[in-house]
Structure 1
């Protein structure tokens, strides 16, 4: 699935690699802020790509 768009929003298209890279960066920041596996994190977002990235970052850390 590399190179193929898996998410489109307005005029922007994201590949799985794009989403993984963004989620890795957010996961690193969340980890630095103390988020660990098993933690619960509130996410307030509209239906946007950032919501998908935030969920993937939390899942990467084992948080919910």
Structure 2
């Protein structure tokens, strides 16, 4: 379950998962850590307008907070 999205924070959920991906890839770890991670990400992204979902994902990859 995605607690951030469940608590009305889908932007933060997308950013957090994207950041997890970036850090895992940087350290040579496999991503996603669990099979359901991808489904959680997709559900959080689907709850946002496309542009907002893309922006939140990019912010997570780049390690940026809200802008």
TM-score range, shorter chain: 0.3 to 0.5
> If you compute each CA radius of gyration, which structure gives the higher value, 1 or 2?
1
The structure, 1 or 2, with the larger RCO (C-alpha pairs under 8 Å, 6+ apart) is: 2
- TM-score in terms of structure 2 length: 0.39
